[in-house]
Chain A
Amino acid sequence: MNVNKSLLIILLCLGFSASTQDQKQQTALSLRTANYDIDLTLDVDKKQVQAQQYLTFKNPSADTIWTMPFHMYYNAFKNNKSTFALEAKSLISTKSQEDIDQGIWSWIKVTEVIDQEGNNLSDSLSFVAVDDQNKQDHTVLMLHLKEPILPHGTYGVHMKWTSQIPKTAIRTGYNRDFFFMAQWYPKLGVYEPAGTRFATKGQWNCHQYHANTEYFGEFGVYKVNITVPENFVVGASGFLVEEKKAAKTLPSNRPLKTYTYLAEDVIDFTWTANPHFIVLEEKWKDVQIKLLIMPEHVCNKERFLVATKYTLDFFEDYIEKYPYPTLTIVSPPYYGLFSGAMEYPTLFTAPTLCILPPNIRTTETLTMHELTHQYFMQMLSTNEQEEAWMDEGFTAFFEAKMMDKFYPKGVFYWDYMGINIGSEEYRRGRFFNADNIKIAPMSQFGWLFKHQGHREIVYGKASVWLRTLEGMVGEACMKDIIQTYFKRWKFKHPCRFDFIDIVNEIVPQHHGDTFGPNMNWFLDQVIYGTEECDYSVHSIHNKEVAESLGYFDNTTTARVPTANAEKLYEAKVILYRLGELWVPQDVKITFDNGEVLMEKWNGKARSHDFTYTGSRKIIAVEIDPALKIPLDKNLINNSYVLEPESAGITRYFTSFLTWMQGAMITASALI
């Protein structure tokens, strides 16, 4: 144990005054594998952070570990040949030519490393590029240890580091006096013991920083002393333990203040500072909600707070109550717009605009989305780089569900044109509007997606197939699946196998063998496949069956027409499977005598007929009448009526006609 650590521990003990004791978790929620004590000073003039941190790592495995990799995210902006810059195909848009000409780039530099035994490891550092061997990429720093981390042992390492903050472009950075500090410190990778996620042997999971993908982190406790100019308002993950005048000063002699934050059982720590923030506080049960908002955006405060409470209510019922004592919402200034919308443990950003009309529900949508990530990404800490759909897909699925429940008029509505667009249909529409919905399987690692395919697959396709799964198995079964998944995997790192196992466990409990021994037939198609789903009603035929007339076997007299015989029909409907992806389908068949039949089709064959002989004729057929399968890319061809109602088309005809007339009259203003 070295001097620095002892000092930090004393500081830690002093910092925990009795007044904040009640905000601490009574029992640890997670294993608390990677714990950080960080002491930092923000130099608002130089746009730098000077810090020291003490990391305590608890080896979760029986392995002896000789290395420790650290994410050095700010190094993505160190040069124009980093993997991030190459993948983004350009420098961050906010990098000015002036900065480039003057050689101003952003970086993070570790200047000193001392392990718990006092060994100086400052020379044992090297950059590695595990994903693409790009020597110019310095986003992963490997520390080679002198003393190993023993099986299930605890290891402490002290670091001093400095960073040059980038201009806000990709979530993090500064603009003028607004600082949004995410992925800002040397962050340890996740050690995966053999058998966890995809690991066949114990290994570090610490990918480079890619343009497409987000993050992955280990659970732990963060105690962070943030020293900033005293006129700055600070918000951070966790809760405020203490604020006091700082003894140190900046070269500019600005008076400083230190805020001590504690965040427990979280996978990351994010903070922000800006002199103009107004802090609005509200309670939801025992959760302290803090909204850090610019004065000009206060008009939208209710939009944030109401949506937040709806979401907390929803998840308390659907999964489990939000377990943290605080939730911080950061609504960035317009000039810090690029810092949002993004999720971090117990804190998220959601931009709003004072000019945003109430019928465009972006503020509410972002709030619900980012808050949902507290469950899918933070408490269920999936790997966002390898399996982005496991946080974004689930989040998009719940965002749509909640928006449609709490804002039934839609995410966008305009009474003048009778327009209203629901959240779920909007998400589905956006997915099917993508350039190439077959671009890659969902199981592909995030950075390997090409041609902007990442977004629509991990958000769009995932949320639509999750909704399809819910459609097939029913809402109660889906809730059971999600609850079981959460209870079993909260504060751990599940991967797709873990979710698939739970689906296969829960569905038979609700449906027996209706869907077969497991749901792999569906999950394999949507997770590993790239095919699309499209079923159609091809045609309806009602053919009159001629009466048997004339001589037949063993008849000596010819059969003659029966007087007033009822006409018989062979009524047939032909269904097609146009897409490669198959799902079982319900088929609703309506006859001319008012009779309605609900048929089942396993959906596997390329075509399927239902034929009925009798006095009735088929007048209408509908595949998936309850709209359980939104994954079907064309819902219009899912039904067929022999004699269509033309009123709908007439309505569109008259509307288009009037619209054209209006356009002509408007254009004639030029004459």
Chain B
Amino acid sequence: MQFYSNMISFKALQQGIQQTWKYKPMVFFLYLLTFLLAVFVAYPLKSLLESTVGHSMMISDLVKGFDYTFLNDFKNAHGDGFLPIIDQSIAVLILYLLLFIFVTGGILATFIQQPPKYNRSVFWGQSAEFFWRILRLTFYFILIHSAIFCLFAFIFYTSSNGLSPFTLENEGTIAFNFKFVAPAYVLVAAFFFMWQDYTKVFLVAEDKTWVFQSLWSALKFIFNNFRKTYGLYLLNLTLWVLVLFINYSISTCIEFTSSSAILPSFLISQVFVILRLSLKLINISSVKTLYQFVEIQQNAAT
């Protein structure tokens, strides 16, 4: 049984990867969206730098990357010009989240309906169809995720006596508590993120009017198939950690400090942006696949 549930999780992941590849235009659409929105805020930064400090010889040193003195002097001399860019970044971030909420319905519908290839009318039609429901769902889960985070932060804070030097034996207590609380948080939070994913799948697959119906169905489904669902979620999490680790290692090992390195370094970073977006879709697709596997089994049994 254990072996079987592991197998089914692997299979779901494998199919998730295949389907994400099959509907890769969705990945590219999301990539384009992040790229254009990021350009929308990065370009004003470029213009600000060019107009204020563009003629300084210090600029040529910036190819090496981080320059504390430059950043500090820039902040003190032209920091006011940077404030609108921060505001704009926050606005863009919120806009991206809204757009992502919008297309989530389309992404799920595409994976569920499985048109022979990426179908624009399925994608956009279903995006519009589910927007308000997924928006509400996101809102509920933001509350749940915040509550879970606050709970763990509270546990960590109180178990470390408020980090107060006067009451703690030594700071090892903080490290020790963190070593337990952080992984526990990841494992517990993963459950709620997983619940959110299955709710979305139920919502779109069964086209329920009320989000709460899907929430309840998803919860039942997760508990009835806990090993499979949680196993798959941990697999997805492992994959995500792996990609981050590779990204971190490459950025740490290779020094990009000359002007000729800007393009390769940028391209590598974009590959990782695409990979991370793909992982997001692989997760959704594999969750949906697992749901369908179990449905098929149950139908076969009845």
Residues of A that sit less than 8 Å from B by CB: 94, 167, 175, 294, 296, 333-338, 353-355, 415-422, 425-426, 428-429, 432-433, 620, 622, 633-642, 644-658, 660-665, 667-671
- Given the known inter-chain contacts A656-B42, A671-B101, please indicate yes or no for A426 contacting B68, CB distance below 8 A: yes
CB distance from B267 to the nearest CB of A (A): 10
Contact between B138 and A644, CB atoms less than 8 A apart = no
Q: Which of A335, A640, A657, A670 contacts B142 (CB 8 A)?
A: A670
Minimum-distance CB pairs A-B, first 4: A648-B62, A647-B259, A418-B65, A639-B57
**Interface status of B41 (Cβ within 8 A of chain A):** yes
CB distance from B59 to the nearest CB of A (A): 4
Residues of B that sit less than 8 Å from A by CB: 34-35, 37-39, 41-43, 45-46, 49-50, 53-66, 68-70, 72-77, 89, 92-93, 96-97, 100-101, 104, 134, 138, 141-142, 145, 165-172, 174-175, 193, 248, 251-252, 255-257, 259, 262, 265-266, 269-270, 273, 276-277, 280
- Give the distance in Å from the alpha carbon of A373 to the alpha carbon of B302 in the complex: 83
Look across to chain A and name the residue whose beta carbon is closest to the beta carbon of B163: A334
B contact residues around A646 at 8 Å (CB): 50, 54, 59
B contact residues around A425 at 8 Å (CB): 68-69, 72
Q: Which of A354, A417, A651 contacts B262 (CB 8 A)?
A: A651
Contact between A665 and B63, CB atoms less than 8 A apart = no
- Give the distance in Å from the alpha carbon of A645 to the alpha carbon of B96 in the complex: 33
Task: A422-B68, A654-B265 given; name 6 further pairs at CB < 8 Å.
Answer: A418-B64, A426-B68, A432-B72, A620-B57, A640-B57, A648-B62
CB distance from B109 to the nearest CB of A (A): 15
Q: Which of B56, B57, B276 contacts A665 (CB 8 A)?
A: B276
- Give the distance in Å from the alpha carbon of A422 to the alpha carbon of B68 in the complex: 8
CB distance from B31 to the nearest CB of A (A): 8
A contact residues around B69 at 8 Å (CB): 425, 428-429, 635
CB distance from B277 to the nearest CB of A (A): 6
- A interface, by DSSP: helix, strand, loop or mixed? helix
Contact between B269 and A354, CB atoms less than 8 A apart = no
CB distance from A94 to the nearest CB of B (A): 6
- B interface, by DSSP: helix, strand, loop or mixed? helix
- Give the distance in Å from the alpha carbon of A648 to the alpha carbon of B49 in the complex: 10
Contact between B96 and A355, CB atoms less than 8 A apart = no
- Give the distance in Å from the alpha carbon of A655 to the alpha carbon of B67 in the complex: 13
CB distance from A358 to the nearest CB of B (A): 14
Look across to chain A and name the residue whose beta carbon is closest to the beta carbon of B249: A416
- Give the distance in Å from the alpha carbon of A534 to the alpha carbon of B203 in the complex: 63
Contact between B97 and A655, CB atoms less than 8 A apart = no
Look across to chain B and name the residue whose beta carbon is closest to the beta carbon of A419: B66
CB distance from B100 to the nearest CB of A (A): 5
B contact residues around A669 at 8 Å (CB): 193, 280
- Give the distance in Å from the alpha carbon of A635 to the alpha carbon of B75 in the complex: 12
- Give the distance in Å from the alpha carbon of A294 to the alpha carbon of B168 in the complex: 14
Contact between B170 and A668, CB atoms less than 8 A apart = no
Look across to chain A and name the residue whose beta carbon is closest to the beta carbon of B267: A654
- Give the distance in Å from the alpha carbon of A79 to the alpha carbon of B41 in the complex: 55
Contact between A671 and B45, CB atoms less than 8 A apart = no
Contact between A429 and B96, CB atoms less than 8 A apart = no
- Give the distance in Å from the alpha carbon of A405 to the alpha carbon of B270 in the complex: 38
Look across to chain B and name the residue whose beta carbon is closest to the beta carbon of A420: B66
Contact between A653 and B93, CB atoms less than 8 A apart = no
B contact residues around A422 at 8 Å (CB): 68
Q: Which of A354, A419, A663 contacts B170 (CB 8 A)?
A: A354
CB distance from A281 to the nearest CB of B (A): 23
Q: What number of residue pairs across chains A and B have CB atoms under 8 A from each other?
A: 207
- Give the distance in Å from the alpha carbon of A655 to the alpha carbon of B74 in the complex: 17
Q: Which of A433, A633, A635, A652 contacts B49 (CB 8 A)?
A: A652
- Give the distance in Å from the alpha carbon of A308 to the alpha carbon of B24 in the complex: 59
Contact between A355 and B54, CB atoms less than 8 A apart = no
Contact between B77 and A637, CB atoms less than 8 A apart = yes
CB distance from A634 to the nearest CB of B (A): 5
B contact residues around A429 at 8 Å (CB): 68-69, 72
Contact between B59 and A648, CB atoms less than 8 A apart = yes
- Given the known inter-chain contacts A294-B170, A334-B168, please indicate yes or no for A634 contacting B104, CB distance below 8 A: no
A-B contacts, 6 of them at CB < 8 A, read A355-B175, A415-B252, A417-B65, A425-B72, A647-B259, A665-B276
A contact residues around B276 at 8 Å (CB): 662, 665
Look across to chain A and name the residue whose beta carbon is closest to the beta carbon of B40: A660
B contact residues around A639 at 8 Å (CB): 56-58
A contact residues around B64 at 8 Å (CB): 418
Contact between B165 and A335, CB atoms less than 8 A apart = yes
- Given the known inter-chain contacts A333-B170, A655-B65, A668-B100, please indicate yes or no for A662 contacting B273, CB distance below 8 A: yes
Look across to chain A and name the residue whose beta carbon is closest to the beta carbon of B261: A651
Q: Which of A336, A645, A664 contacts B59 (CB 8 A)?
A: A645
Look across to chain B and name the residue whose beta carbon is closest to the beta carbon of A428: B69
- Give the distance in Å from the alpha carbon of A175 to the alpha carbon of B270 in the complex: 53
Q: Which of B34, B72, B145, B193 contacts A661 (CB 8 A)?
A: B34
- Give the distance in Å from the alpha carbon of A180 to the alpha carbon of B45 in the complex: 51
CB distance from A626 to the nearest CB of B (A): 13
B contact residues around A167 at 8 Å (CB): 166
Give the most central of A296, A334, A419: most B CB within 10 Å. A334
- Given the known inter-chain contacts A420-B66, A657-B39, A667-B97, please indicate yes or no for A334 contacting B76, CB distance below 8 A: no
CB distance from B285 to the nearest CB of A (A): 15
B contact residues around A94 at 8 Å (CB): 166
Contact between B169 and A433, CB atoms less than 8 A apart = no
CB distance from A48 to the nearest CB of B (A): 20
Contact between A416 and B252, CB atoms less than 8 A apart = yes
- Give the distance in Å from the alpha carbon of A334 to the alpha carbon of B69 in the complex: 33
Contact between A636 and B53, CB atoms less than 8 A apart = yes
CB distance from A348 to the nearest CB of B (A): 19
CB distance from B92 to the nearest CB of A (A): 7
Contact between A661 and B273, CB atoms less than 8 A apart = yes
A contact residues around B252 at 8 Å (CB): 415-416
CB distance from A293 to the nearest CB of B (A): 12
Contact between B273 and A354, CB atoms less than 8 A apart = no
B contact residues around A415 at 8 Å (CB): 252
Contact between A334 and B165, CB atoms less than 8 A apart = yes
A contact residues around B45 at 8 Å (CB): 652-653, 656
Look across to chain B and name the residue whose beta carbon is closest to the beta carbon of A627: B69
B contact residues around A428 at 8 Å (CB): 69
